[in-house]
Amino acid sequence: MNDAFVRFNKRKPPKKCRWYLKPIVWMLAFSGTRKHRTKIERIGMKGLKPPYVLIGNHNAFFDMAVSARATFPHVANYVVAIDGFIGREKLLRNIGCICKRKFTNDMTVVKHIRTVIKNKGIAAIYPEARYSLCGTTAPIPESLGQLCKALCVPVVTVVCHGHHVNHPFWNTRRERGVKPTEATVKQLITLEEIASLSVDEINRRIVEELQYDDFRWQLENKIKVDDPDRAVGLHKILYQCPHCKKEFCTSSKGAELTCNNCGKVWTMSEYGELAAKDGETEFSHIPDWYEWERGNVRAEVESGTYSTGVLPVRVESLPNAKGFIPLGKGTMTHDMNGFEVTVTSPDGETRVMKKPVASLYSCHIEYEYLFKHGDCVDLNTLEDTWYVYPENCAFSVTKMALATEELYYDFRRKAGRPCKAGLV
């Protein structure tokens, strides 16, 4: 096998953060939170020492700086996606990070988390498994409660507000300088409680605690974002016009979102609200527009008609932390059966990846990945990750992400095992 295709070694046990790296972690954490004047409220944390599980919401890289500040003077072991290791595997391993491929059931990661707890450490998990697309809570796997129950240590949550407004996933080219941001660090479940609580109750508490809406927080707290380009990229999540109902027709520039089909324009205020330039404002609250799109996708799934059709794609592989390997061009279909990608390399070798509905409760997407590669869906096995870039066609990876979730919910309902609120 070509050395470039050597797989990432996930079996190496996690390390405790090296002593010489701790000051760097703390410096970055304290300087970042000072820059954003982050207000950290602590509830039930007095006297708590590791081991414990730290569960956080996920909107931006800055989440980790807040968590590092919250756990000071200890340094947590973070579960990190494999693309986070690219070009810095040695550094992240020495900090104590645990590698995972997104939306896979990986028992090796569970084993590593157990090791962290056994070594009296802090296991930091972001169960949404991706940055929030529009600053609201993403589905949380029901297996999280089982894991917490099995580890039998306190459960701490850290819920941050303002990180999506400051650095939205749909435009990560620069931060908006939002301050102050806020975070609540809470001992959600004590050592005494974890032994007696049911898995259902553990999950209920976690889901309830992790509810957030960054745009509502911005409006209620009058957090002003005067960036003249504050709406740039918003069309990535608001891909369907609520006026003419056409998909994949929106664009954004400056503080405006435009439907290129019917010509309707909405302006994004300095407080994150939308207002139509003319006529009715269908949705002033961005997450409401996003959930309207979800409802439309759900209708397609329930009628059995959801399909992207056959999309031309370019595919890159990430087998290890050395970097991406072009696999070639091919096709992708996402429909009622799930994902199917077929790619043919320049030398004629054909590879296929199938991800059936039952295997994927959600998926990870990227917008303008690395600022030049384009929008993509990344699909994972335990040993590889494919970054799939549709080209020269009308599409929305946001719709694919919504459809993945709705297809899974539909599958569970039909199997007589409907998902509980907030869980998958």
Q: What is the CATH number of the domain that holds 166?
A: 3.40.1130.10
- The reported pLDDT for the residue numbered 358 is 95
CATH of the domain at 374: 2.30.29
Whether the full predicted model's pTM is greater than 0.85, yes or no, is: yes
Please check whether residue 336 lies inside any domain of the structure: yes
Contact present, 257 and 268 (Cβ < 8 Å): yes
Q: Are residues 291 and 349 in the same domain?
A: no
Residues 365 and 311 occupy one common structural domain: yes
Q: What is the pLDDT of residue 2?
A: 41
Q: Which domain holds residue 283?
A: 234-302
Question: To 10 degrees, the CA torsion angle through 198, 200, 201, 205?
Answer: 140
Examine the fold and report which residue of 302, 328, 357 is the final residue of a domain before the chain moves on. Answer: 302
pLDDT value, residue 283: 97
pLDDT for the residue 55: 97
pLDDT for the residue numbered 5: 73
Select from 285, 302, 319 the last residue of a domain: 302
How many domains are there within the chain?
Answer: 3
Q: Please identify every stretch of the chain with a pLDDT value under 70, giving residue numbers as ranges.
A: 1-4
pLDDT of the residue at 212: 96
The torsion defined by the Cα of 368, 372, 378 and 382, in degrees rounded to 10, comes to -140
- b/e 223-248 (16+ beta carbons within 10 angstroms → b): bebebeebbbbbbbbbbbbbeeeeee
In a domain, 67, yes or no: yes
Residues 319, 292: one domain? Answer: no
**CA dist., res. 412 & res. 424, Å (int):** 9
- Both 140 and 282 in a single domain? no
Angle at 324 between CA 322 and CA 327, to 5 degrees: 135
Is residue 71 assigned to a domain? yes
pLDDT of residue 183: 96
348 and 402 in a common domain:
yes
3-state secondary structure of 260: coil
Polymer length of the chain: 424
Sign of CA dihedral 304, 381, 421, 414: positive
Q: What is the pLDDT of residue 34?
A: 93
